[in-house]
A and B are shown apart, each in its own frame.
Chain A
């Protein structure tokens, strides 16, 4: 496994392999941050923080597993922390820019690009605790129990938050899906 070799080399302070690890996984990590934070600059900042934190806590990584899920989970935590620090504002100016208006989307044919923008904007309208549920379940494909362990929350909370998040998304996207 390529990741395993990288991580083992990294534990020996091999900077070159860290570059390679970043190169391989930066897009995945960046997209976690983009979905959760909503703008590219914040997402790139969070991506940097993710890799630096990963380097710092390399000893916690299990080399038997692929690096991508581990990095994405770190990214989700970092983004959730950032979002919770932003509270109670919930949305910053950049988020406002990407949000759809509260009016229904045009009835005409929705271009694929617009649809994707609408989905991203709908995600940003979710409260952080729901947003991270959608991220971990739908984009990182964790099970209920894995999400509960990751967020240190009861399984019942995971089920109810995920259900509520989907209800809200369905409402926001009713003209798109």
Chain B
């Protein structure tokens, strides 16, 4: 159970507003937290903390604006606070480090893999959701947040940029870079499993 889980003591109107507006967003919040922390209990604690904060400040939410983005912003801050407080393990891998960590592929280059017979969509379909989540988890946290908001939750770039409090251009470049990193990571795994061979790519 998270700290601060005590009842925020809402008025009846606030409670009704919270239930009507925020509760339908529970699933995307929990999914994002799960893919972020990779631990169900931590994810539930994080989302509970987020929702309690949302209950307390439900009066400040402007109806007609994007409630999911508002809640994701609280979740993002709660996650940062939790990581800073050392409550949760964080993937503090730098972007450069993560690129170096892509499994080694002797005798093959990224270009060779990209040029292989396996179309990227076909290759990606060979991985289970669990494996894709695992690969996602290995990316730096800012990249992971970007891909979770933009590609998994299908938020538009502007909304995702507002959640993460970064410029629009940065979110776009992070999304492209993140996708390439994820593909490289999965290609590395595919190569290790023998799904991609140099022979195949040499034919192309």
Q: Do A and B bind each other?
A: no
Q: Which residues on A are within 8 Å of B, measured CB to CB?
A: none
Q: Which residues on B are within 8 Å of A, measured CB to CB?
A: none
